[in-house]
Every structure is written in structure tokens, then in C-alpha cells.
Structure 1
Amino acid sequence: MEPRDKRRTGDYGSMEDPNYQVPTMESIDNSEISEWYRDKTVFLTGGTGFMGKVLVEKLLRSCPVKKIFLLMRPKANNDINQRIDDMLNYKLFDKLKANRPEFFQKLHPVRGDITHEGLGLSEEDEKTLAQEVEVIFHVAATINFQEPIRVAVSMNMLGTKRVVNLAKKMTKLKALVHVSTAYCNCHLQETYEELYPAPIEPGRLIQLTEWFEDDVLENITPQLVSPRPNTYTFTKALAEHILVNDAEGRIPFSIIRPSIVCGAWREPEPGWVDNMYAFTGLLVGMGKGVLRTLYIKQGIKLDFVPVDVPINLMIVAAYNTATKKFATSTNVPIYCCSTGYQQPLTIEGLNDLLKDTVRVIPQEHPIWFPDGSAKTNKTLHTIHLYIANVLPAYIADFFYKILGKKQIAVKMCYRMMKAINALEYFMLRDWTFHNENVQGLWASLSPADRQMFHFNVGDLDWAQYIDRYQRGCKKFILKESTSDEALERAHKNMNKMLWLHRILQFALMYCAWYLVSSDISVTCLSTLFNELIKWFTLYPLENMDDHSSMSSLPALPEEGFINS
């Protein structure tokens, strides 16, 4: 492995495989999978979400599909056509706009909502989908871990049931790919690519949400989801059972279980990300100097996966569901898309990489020098969090207000804390997600298909990926330049911050020494020490000095303690 500073230089080309290039339309002719998608009609739920946008871009760029129907609901006074225009304004689609803008004519928004009966489709739209769709990607779900059970059931479970009901009406359907999560069985330390027993019969839970009021459901939710930590993992596990019960033997389907999905590894652009969830909050928080403490358990093996890995796997899984070129080891075709089994990364390793990358690829205008430490004690972590994060954020916003600048420190601090709190359960526990089906599917592909739809995490270089992720956070989240000139300016600013940081540390150390060594401090400490001695002494010290007081002590028995 090359020295870390050397690997950081150069462009975004893959250092894991020198021969790898991001697939282009010119390489489609060599791919059997791309050819299989020719003139296919695809139906996609969740197309405006993080994974959905990447899937749309990949299908347009690498698969000569005929149409992509996107289930969309009007939002914030925008109709579905406006929403799709807004979605295409993301930089994710810039290369397609520049090279093949005509591809966007393949996108067809369909008004609907997975929380409504019949997906909220009009009769005309339902008829069109039933007659034309050949591939379904069901990505839509709520990923809010604290979602009320009624909402989680409606979106994750009933939404899946409604998609399956529509799929049964599709006369040309060849494959349905359902996106679940690797953590749907997180109460087990080790899981395989198989369907585990349902924690409750899905129909009974649906009935509970229909019968009970919100306050009753809220009270019984902890007992319902236990031993799972939240409604998300609970309902996603049950959604798998709904799919299998309703679709098995009727609809060709596959289940994809990604772990924590993060910024892009290789495509459409390395580091691409559009939200502050998952480890994006860690990078932004550390880079801005806001996050200065991290609560960890030593030796924990983390599991998060770049977004382009499950997207490529989904596209290949749909093809394999239809062609059956590769047979999974279980009756239910499940693919666990994770990294910990093939390319493990410990929490200590991640902490070192994060601290390294935010200094080598610094962010512009940090609130303070990015420094801090990982702690294994929850109390110390909490104290440090409020002293070194929350309080300074309020102070920073106070000065921003005086200077007439935008007050962002407190908002960023709490956004970062929210993102980290959502991850805490998953960062403090160790899982082993076996992925033999994924590895077997990868082994079955031709070289051209591997090049076009790369999902082998065995090639992943964590150090380089975290660097790309940091660049992506700068470019797409913080809207900062990643040019050499901009990085040089950021480094100079970072050096100034370092000097201020060291001066402040020295000043605090001097103040602490002065307070401890002053006469007043010595007197106070002596008094405190004497008082503590009195509290922990059975008899007052002054009585012990008066020999006459010994007569007041209770007499010892004539015989020894042993004899008695």
C-alpha cells in the first residue's frame, strides 16, 4: 500500500484498480446486462430520495431503457413535473445533461403515494403501468428511526403490500427488486442472507394500527419492537415477510439488504452526497471544528457502504431475477450489501481516517481547528459534548450576530448531533453480515458487466474512499471548491486556526496551573480535604486528640473477637 499522503494526490481515478474507468454509454454494447435492459420499461418508487436519484442516473447512463416511470407525490405546492425538474437540477445529472440530454425524455412522473390505497394512482395510470412495466425497483421507505409506528407501518409495510398488489396486475413483469436493510434483524449479532422468523404476524400489526389510537400505540411501541431498537428496523423486517407471502410463486422478486448507505465511491461522481445523514454529519462536524468528541466502543466493526454499490447490485439483481443465471443459496433470493464481512473497518480506524482527512482536505471557514478525541465513557463524552460543542456554538453565533454574519454554528451543531445520535446504536454494536450470495453473483458476471456494474467491495480502499467522501461533502453539501488553489487557501486558514488553538490551550493550562498553585486555592483545597476527612472518619478528629474522651468509647469484650 502506498503512503497515505501519496495516495491523496491526483484526480478521482480509482487507485484500487488502475484499469477501472467510470462506465460510459460507449461501453454498453459489451455488457450483457445493459443489453438485457434495452427497451425495457421500469417503474421506480422513491425516485427522489438519495438512492433513488443515483438509480435513475445509472439507469439512464448505463442501461438503454425505454421508459422510467417515477411514482411521485406533489409536495410543497409543486406538482410532479416541477418536482422532477427540481430533481434534475442536482449536479448528479450534470454529465448526462452535457452529453445526452435527450435521455431525460425517458423519465415519466406518475402522480401517486405509497401511503394511499392503490398507491394513489388514477385508473388510467394504473392501466398504463400494468400493460407496460417490466421491472420494478421498490426503494421508497421512511428511514426516520423514530417514526411513529403507524407511519412506519403505512410506508414500509403497507407501501410494500400496495406495490406487490400492483405488480400482480403487470402482464410483462420480469423482476421486482425490493430494498430492505441489513439491520432488519439487528437483534442478532450474526445474520445470513435468509428470511428470519417474523417478530409478529404482519397482518396483526396492521390491525393494531387500525384499531388503536396514537397514544396507545406510542405506549406499546417499545414492547412491540423489542428487541429491535426502533420502528424502522422492525417494520422493514416485516415488509420482507409481506413481500414473500404475497409474491412468492406469483412474482419474480429479489431482496437487497444494504447496510448504512453513504456517499458515492466511484460513480456517478466520487463522493457525491445530498444529505447530512449517516457519516456525512461526522465529516462536516469534524471538518468545521464543531464535533470534538465521539463516543465509541473499542474494537467495534462498522458497516457502511457507498451508494453506488447497492445501486449496481440492484440493477444486476433484477437482471438475474429474470434470467436466473446465478442461483442463490436460499429459496428466497436475498442479497446483503455490506462491507464488514469482506472489508472490515473498526471504529478506531474510522476515527483516525476522519481526523486525518479533515486536516489534509480542510473545509473553508471552520469555526475552530478540527481536533478532538474518541471516548469510551458515556458520561465523559456527554460532558465534553456540551462544553466543547454546544457552548462554543452559542458563543460563535453570538459573535456572528455582532459581526452581522449568518448565525450557523448552533444549527450546524444540533444537526450534527442529531445525525450522530441516529447512528449511535449502530456504532456501538458489532454485527457480521454474511454476503455469500452477493459474492456468488459477482463471480458469475462477465468482465464487461463487472466493469459496467461494479459492486465488489473487496476492492474498496477505505483511506481513499474517506478522502473522496470529504471532497464530496465540501463540494455538494457545503458548496465549497475542491480546486488546488482553494485547498491551499483552506490550508493556510487551517494553520492560523492551529496557532489560535494552541495559544488557547496554553492559556487554559496556565490558568489551571495558576488557580491550583495560588494561596487561595491551596487554602480552599486544604479546607476541602479536611472536611472530606471529617465526613469519612467515624469520630471527629478533635475528639481523637483528647485522650480523656477515650473513656467515652464503648468497652471491648473481655474475650477476643475470634473466641466470641
Structure 2
Amino acid sequence: MQRHVEWFRDQVVFLTGGTGNLGVCLLYKLTLQLPTKKIFLLCRGSVQRALDKLDAAMAEQFDDVLDSHRVQFMVGDTSKPGLGLKTSDLRQLQEEVTVVINAAADISLQQPLHLSIQPNCIAHLQLLTLLRGFSRLKSFLHVSSTSVNSFLPDGIIEEQIYPLSDDDPDPEKVLSQILSTGQSAYTDNFIAPYALCKHLAERLILKQADLPFNTLIVRPSLIGPAIRDPYPFYGNDEGMPLQSAIYNLATDPDYGLDELGKGINLDAVFDEIPVDLVASTCLAHLAAGSVGIVQAAGSLYVAATTGEIATIMIQGAAPTGIEKVRRGEIRQSQNLAPMFFQVARKYMRNWDIRCDRSEHLKEHTGVLGLSLDGHDPNAFMKHRWQNVSKSVFGLSST
């Protein structure tokens, strides 16, 4: 893997979504674990806003990232023409960038289709058009999601594109209908509208066969807290759907821990992978020159069922706290439980998401490897979910 590590020494990376959950982890690895020549980070709003978010996400590593003197912040917006960049900034990117990592997205489960299509599809296609003018660009990595295949029945899901239906509609026509009507006949087949948007983005990105650079799509499953980088348990609820769902469901008397089994398959695997393993998968495949679709799912780590998670939380919870939930005395300010419950019902399926292209990485340690050497997944999971339980229900007396 050392050859792949050295590959980064000559790379100038443009990173979008760099202050998001995965983006922060990618930035950490690119600046402090890899010899990356330079990183341009797209900032929405202002540089100070980006600095504040990075400081909040990894306070102990923040100064080291800045002191690397390899990160250059650029104010822009993926939803705007030319990324909303100053002319001089865009020209610099066009002349210097060799690698683009597009980790920007809006994973809101509540956002309706007509609003989700811009950040989760159109913006990516506009970026791809812009990248044709990057004279030194070698590789483009687009971060997608395994949810793009949530319309499929139970069974094996390979690292490939699946048609939306037997007649395999033209993705351009599906997109055109969404843009003209704000609706699609396929929306309800997915766990949320954003998943359909990301499915269309994949199809339309890969349809552009004449691109003058490598195109790689990485599909993470649900992203969980880091096992190592930038530090153990790094991650925020906003970027970890499983944690957000469990937290909201557990604090609602109608969907609490002891009610989940009445509407959700407790034996189904909640496919999740630590964020730093996703970052390593992305970077390893970039260095290897991989193209096409790569999946980064729970099979690269350790899978847990919904029932196992609920059991761990109940064991770590104070009985009085659970009783308060049952009586409706503990609720979140926003009642998101019904929405999370419906999404969970769609997601609790018996999918076998294959990650064959990355299995070999489990044999390697280091920044680009996925080895779990020295890591105890069971202890990690127990500690994580008991901490979530304590934050919801209070400390257990046992």
C-alpha cells in the first residue's frame, strides 16, 4: 500500500463537502496522514464558517490541519453556476487540480423530491460539466449511497447499476419529468426522495463516457462513528442516520424501544460502516486508479441487527428513564419519530450489499487499509449504544 500512499505526493485535491461528516475525515487523512501536495476546500458562506465547523468537529486536530499549510479555502456553492467561485479561484482550480472528491450532498430524509433534486443530482451534473475545463484533472470521485438501490427487493446487491424497472426508463426522461412536475412515479420505491435523486445522478454521471478523466463512484451504506480517525467515536448525529433514527424513536412513547418489534424486523441488519473506513476506501481506490462503482458497506466492518442494538440500549438504560418515555415525559423538540419509523420500515430489509472490490483492503493496516487489527468491534458497539442510551434515559443502576 506504500505505493498508493506515495501517489498522493503529487496530487492537488479539490474537496467539496469538506465540513460534512465524511468530508472532515477525508480532510484529516489528506492533510495529516497522507503526503498530499495541496487541498482546495470549497466553503459555503464564508471561510470563518468553515473554520468554526472544522474546529467543532475535530478540536484537537484542528490546529495541526491548518499548520500543515496545505489547505486553501475557497468560498463557493455547488448549487451555483461555476460553483459560485471568484473568477481567479476558478482559474486556479482549472490549472492546478488533479483530483476532485465530491462529498457534498443533502441527506435530509424529509426534503421533498422537487427540492432534493437540485443538491443531490443537478449540482453534481453541473460540477461534472465544469470539470471538463480542468486541464490537469486525472480522477473524479463522486460519493453516492447504497440507498440508490433501496427500490430493489431483498437479495444480493452488486457493485453495478440496476434499472429502475423492467422497462429501464431513460434517466434523462425521469429527471426531466421531475424538473417539470416536481414528481416521479418511482419516488415511493425508495427510502426517501434523496435516494432517487442520487440514483439518477449515478446513472447520468456514468452515461458520460467521453470524460477525459477517471470517474469513480463510492456508495457508502449508513455512516457510523469513526473507530480511529480523526479520533474514536468521531461523528455527529446529523451525519449518522442510524444514530439519529434510534435517538428519535427511543424517545417517543409510540415508537420506543419496546415498541420497535411491532413494526420493524428486529432480525434485519442495519447496514452501517464507520466513517473512517469509508474515507480509507475512497482514498485507496483513488490511488489505485479504480473506476466505476465501489460499495462501502457493513460487510467491510461488523454488522449488527436492530434487535441487538435495542437490547444493548435497554441494558444500559435507567428503568426510570424508560418509564418516563412510556409516559411521554421525554420527547424531542421536533416530533421526527413517525418519519424515522417509516424510513426504518423501508430500510429494514434483507439486502446483501457486496463490497468485493474492497475486500482485499481488510488485509492491510495503515491509512489506506481496512484492517481491524487492535480494534474490538463488539466492545466498540456496546460502548457506543450504551452511551446513546444514557443520554436518552439516564444512567443504569446496574
Give the AA of the match of 1:317: H
Q: Aligned with 2:328: secondary structure?
A: helix
Map of 1:194 onto structure 2: 160
Alignment pair present for 1:234 and 2:196:
yes
Q: Radius of gyration: which is bigger? A: 1
Q: CA deviation at 1:34?
A: 2.6
Q: CA deviation at 1:114?
A: 1.8
Alignment pair present for 1:338 and 2:274:
no
Q: 1:42-92, CA deviations, whole angstroms, 9 ceiling, x for partnerless residues?
A: 111111211111211221111122322122221xxxxx1111221232252
C-alpha contact (below 8 Å) 2:103/2:143 kept by paired residues: yes
Give the AA of the match of 2:44: R
Alignment pair present for 1:389 and 2:389:
no
Q: Aligned with 1:255: secondary structure?
A: strand
Give the AA of the match of 1:45: T
Q: CA deviation at 1:434?
A: 1.2
Map of 1:320 onto structure 2: 288
C-alpha contact (below 8 Å) 1:115/1:155 kept by paired residues: yes
Q: Aligned with 2:137: secondary structure?
A: coil
Residue pairs, 1:526-545, within 5 angstroms: none
Map of 1:435 onto structure 2: 355
C-alpha contact (below 8 Å) 2:24/2:57 kept by paired residues: no
Q: CA deviation at 1:292?
A: 4.0
Query: Take 2:18 and 2:326, find their aligned partners in 1: how far apart are those partners?
Result: 36
C-alpha RMSD of the superposition: 3.3
Q: CA deviation at 1:140?
A: 0.9
Query: Take 2:362 and 2:202, find their aligned partners in 1: how far apart are those partners?
Result: 23
Q: Aligned with 1:299: secondary structure?
A: coil
Pick from 230, 237, 242 the counterpart of residue 279 of structure 1.
Answer: 242
Map of 1:379 onto structure 2: none
Q: CA deviation at 1:240?
A: 0.8
Query: Take 2:306 and 2:39, find their aligned partners in 1: how far apart are those partners?
Result: 40
Alignment pair present for 1:425 and 2:390:
no
Q: Aligned with 1:300: secondary structure?
A: coil
Residue pairs, 1:77-476, within 5 angstroms: 80-97=46-63, 101-103=66-68, 105-188=69-152, 189=154, 190-197=156-163, 200-212=169-181, 217=182, 220-221=183-184, 223-247=185-209, 249-276=211-238, 277-281=240-244, 284=247, 291-293=256-258, 294-295=260-261, 296-321=264-289, 333-340=292-299, 343-356=302-315, 358-359=316-317, 369-371=320-322, 389=325, 391-393=327-329, 409-411=330-332, 414=335, 417=337, 420-421=340-341, 423-440=343-360, 442=362, 447=364, 450-456=365-371, 461-470=376-385
- As a proportion of its length, which structure holds more helix? 1
| Count of residue pairs brought into register by the alignment | 386
Query: Take 1:131 and 1:343, find their aligned partners in 2: how far apart are those partners?
Result: 42
Q: CA deviation at 1:310?
A: 0.6
TM-score by length of 2: 0.84
C-alpha contact (below 8 Å) 2:143/2:217 kept by paired residues: yes
Give aligned-pair identity as a percent: 22
Query: Take 2:373 and 2:249, find their aligned partners in 1: how far apart are those partners?
Result: 28
Residues 470 and 268 (structure 1), Cα distance of their counterparts in 2 relative to 1, 3 Å cut: farther
Query: Take 1:411 and 1:320, find their aligned partners in 2: how far apart are those partners?
Result: 45
Residues 288 and 348 (structure 1), Cα distance of their counterparts in 2 relative to 1, 3 Å cut: closer
Q: CA deviation at 1:437?
A: 0.9
Q: Aligned with 1:414: secondary structure?
A: coil
Query: Take 1:250 and 1:472, find their aligned partners in 2: how far apart are those partners?
Result: 48
Map of 1:63 onto structure 2: 34
Query: Take 2:150 and 2:248, find their aligned partners in 1: how far apart are those partners?
Result: 27
Q: Aligned with 1:411: secondary structure?
A: coil
TM-score by length of 1: 0.61
Q: CA deviation at 1:126?
A: 1.7
Q: Gaps spanning 5+ residues in structure 1: where?
A: 1-29, 75-79, 325-331, 360-365, 373-387, 394-408, 481-489, 499-564
Q: 1:319-370, CA deviations, whole angstroms, 9 ceiling, x for partnerless residues?
A: 112xx6xxxxxxx5321111148744333222223333x34xxxxxx7x635
Q: Aligned with 1:279: secondary structure?
A: helix
Q: CA deviation at 1:286?
A: 8.7
Q: CA deviation at 1:154?
A: 1.1
Q: 1:284-341, CA deviations, whole angstroms, 9 ceiling, x for partnerless residues?
A: 56998984432432432221111111111111111112xx6xxxxxxx5321111148
Query: Take 1:184 and 1:263, find their aligned partners in 2: how far apart are those partners?
Result: 22
C-alpha contact (below 8 Å) 2:251/2:331 kept by paired residues: no
C-alpha contact (below 8 Å) 1:342/1:458 kept by paired residues: no
Q: Gaps spanning 5+ residues in structure 2: where?
A: none
Q: 1:83-137, CA deviations, whole angstroms, 9 ceiling, x for partnerless residues?
A: 122123225241352x56512x322222222222232233222211111111111
